[in-house]
């Protein structure tokens, strides 16, 4: 096979940037579909007439650890269209987290900061910030009123470019979970299915159409994509905020290679749905209807609201579950594998109803990465739960890969696997549900 043309990724990035700057055109977003889709391409006949993979990972993309490249290629050969058991009506599923897994840094963050820098967040109805999230504390609502009441009338865009105190309060609550005065901003900041700050990024898009939100995301990506790694920005007077988002070339190659070999490739992200599905196809070839992000309800006019679609036994509008931690598992089971509501929050005992491959970088990806039946790719960002599982390497199915851009330094001390707690305050466990009996040193952190 000829090598994967690296110019393709550059073309995608540049055309997306142009689209963002011009804010023209909208990517269509159709409803989600299950893993049974159009048949994949046929394998290439080998010398004996036996199908071979359409292609494998490009060996000219040199930042994969050699063992990881070899094992991923083996998965593609074993389960893709070259396999005698390949069924085009029930294709193997691969699921990727997005932020800091497919791209460097966080496009949800970048879009939120872009909205503040361009006066796009709307003043809540009656200037009542509880309408943006029922989880804001009274202290946070009061702080927002004090900083933002003068910035716009209800329903109008907050003038956050000129009202720096309003921008600063919004950034503080979103980034630190505290008001600028140091008071707790959230009544229950993190659970196994909800991160209130992440959720708020989607809720503050209320009042816009999905197409308008997608245009914001493309513009945010365009502003971030060509900045050097490590570039920062100032929002209001808050300095040091990331101003760089870069798609990983290795992940583009991996995703396209999986798709070429008949895999059904999805994204499960804790960023807003319309932020990620705005760019996924241009950057990686993943169509918008293969993106599962924070899914908000829309009103009668088709505009985004501050309430979420439900999953499992959590009803629409309950606002206690998003695509976060075990919520990602729920939505994967709901959308991809079409499990009944009573089964969506639990790992499926039937391996045929689970993804064969998963990739993530955070503790909040742990549930869906653990669920993968064959390979579990971990991008090492020193996240304790995820790295404890990766280094424990249950059944030999975990791969650890340093970050492809600016990899983290070695964790100086061993990960505290035996004492760490999860978001529910319980001791962390491996994918078999067993408590860890040892701590693990960080030994896979440098690129080759």
**Residue 367 pLDDT level (bands cut at 50, 70, 90):** very high
Radius of gyration of the chain (CA): 22
φ and ψ of 155, to 5 deg: 85, -10
Query: Domain coordinates of the chain in residue numbers?
Result: 7-104+246-402, 107-242
Identify the pLDDT of residue 11. 46
Contacts of 407 (CB under 8 A, 6+ apart): 380, 445, 446, 447
Positive or negative, the Cα torsion across 401, 358, 68, 259?
A: negative
Element (H, E) at 3: none
**Residue 235 pLDDT level (bands cut at 50, 70, 90):** very high
Identify the pLDDT of residue 49. 54
Q: What is the largest CA-CA distance in the chain?
A: 75
Task: Tell me the average pLDDT across 210-231.
Answer: 97
Distances (CA, A) of 47 to 51, 55, 339, 419: 9, 16, 42, 55
Q: What are the tens digits of pLDDT across the range 110-137?
A: 999 999 999 999 999 999 999 999 999 9
Identify the pLDDT of residue 150. 98
Identify the pLDDT of residue 42. 54
pTM, 2 dp: 0.90
Nearest alpha-carbon partner for 113 in 243, 275, 274, 215: 243
How remote is the C-alpha of 118 from its chain's centroid? 24
Is 402 a residue whose pLDDT tops 50?
A: yes
> By the 8 A CB rule, do 44 and 51 touch?
yes
In a 3-state reduction of DSSP, which class is residue 343? helix
HSE value, Cβ hemisphere, 13 Å, CA-based, for 371: 30
* CATH node for 7-104+246-402: 3.40.50.1000
Nearest alpha-carbon partner for 438 in 416, 412, 413, 420: 416
| Other beta carbons less than 10 A from residue 176's beta carbon | 13
Identify the pLDDT of residue 397. 97
> By the 8 A CB rule, do 16 and 284 touch?
no
Task: Tell me the average pLDDT across 219-248.
Answer: 97
Is 21 a residue whose pLDDT tops 80?
A: no
Which residue's entry shows tokens 């897994």? 101
* Mean residue pLDDT across the chain: 91
In the chain, the N- to C-terminal Cα span, in Å, equals 25
Q: What are the tens digits of pLDDT across the range 250-265?
A: 999 999 999 999 999 9
Q: What are the tens digits of pLDDT across the range 162-181?
A: 999 999 999 999 999 999 99
CA distance 347 to 328: 11
Task: Tell me the average pLDDT across 353-370.
Answer: 98
Contacts of 443 (CB under 8 A, 6+ apart): 391, 410
Q: What is the dihedral of CA 379, 382, 385, 386, to 10 degrees?
A: 10
| Other beta carbons less than 10 A from residue 425's beta carbon | 6
């Amino acid at each position: 096979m000829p090598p994967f043309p690296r110019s393709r990724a550059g073309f995608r990035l540049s055309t997306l940037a142009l689209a963002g700057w011009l804010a023209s055109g909208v990517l269509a977003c159709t409803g989600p579909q299950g893993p049974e889709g159009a048949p994949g391409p046929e394998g290439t006949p080998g010398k004996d007439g036996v199908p071979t993979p359409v292609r494998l990972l490009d060996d000219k993309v040199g930042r994969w650890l050699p063992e990881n490249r070899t094992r991923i290629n083996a998965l593609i050969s074993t389960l893709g269209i070259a396999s005698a058991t390949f069924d085009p009506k029930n294709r193997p599923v691969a699921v990727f987290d997005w932020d800091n897994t497919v791209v460097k840094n966080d496009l949800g963050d970048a879009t939120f900061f872009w909205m503040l820098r361009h006066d796009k967040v709307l003043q809540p109805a009656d200037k009542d910030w509880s309408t943006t999230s029922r989880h804001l504390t009274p202290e946070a609502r009061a702080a927002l009123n004090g900083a933002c009441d003068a910035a716009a009338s209800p329903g109008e865009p907050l003038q956050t470019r000129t009202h720096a105190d309003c921008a600063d309060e919004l950034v503080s609550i979103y980034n630190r979970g505290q008001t600028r005065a140091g008071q707790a901003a959230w009544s229950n900041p993190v659970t196994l299915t909800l991160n209130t700050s992440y959720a708020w990024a989607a809720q503050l898009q209320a009042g816009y159409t999905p197409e308008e939100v997608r245009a914001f995301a493309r513009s945010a990506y365009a502003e971030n994509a060509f900045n050097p790694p490590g570039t920062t920005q100032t929002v209001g007077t808050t300095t040091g905020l990331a101003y760089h988002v870069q798609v990983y070339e290795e992940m583009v190659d991996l995703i396209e290679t999986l798709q070429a070999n008949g895999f059904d490739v999805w994204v499960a992200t804790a960023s807003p749905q319309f932020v990620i599905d705005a760019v996924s196809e241009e950057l990686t070839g993943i169509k918008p209807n293969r993106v599962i992000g924070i899914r908000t309800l829309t009103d009668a006019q088709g505009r985004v609201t501050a309430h979420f679609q439900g999953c499992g036994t959590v009803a629409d509008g309950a606002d206690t579950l998003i695509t976060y931690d075990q919520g990602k598992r729920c939505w994967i089971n709901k959308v991809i594998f079409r499990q009944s509501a009573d089964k969506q929050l639990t790992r499926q005992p039937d391996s045929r109803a689970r993804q064969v491959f998963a990739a993530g970088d955070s503790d909040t990806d742990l549930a869906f990465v653990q669920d993968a039946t064959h390979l579990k790719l971990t991008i090492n960002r020193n996240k304790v739960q995820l790295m404890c599982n990766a280094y424990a390497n249950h059944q030999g199915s975990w791969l650890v890969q340093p970050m492809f851009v600016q990899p983290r330094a070695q964790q100086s001390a061993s990960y505290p696997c035996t004492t760490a707690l999860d978001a529910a305050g319980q001791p962390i466990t491996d994918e078999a549900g067993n408590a860890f009996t040892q701590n693990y040193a960080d030994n896979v952190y440098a690129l080759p």
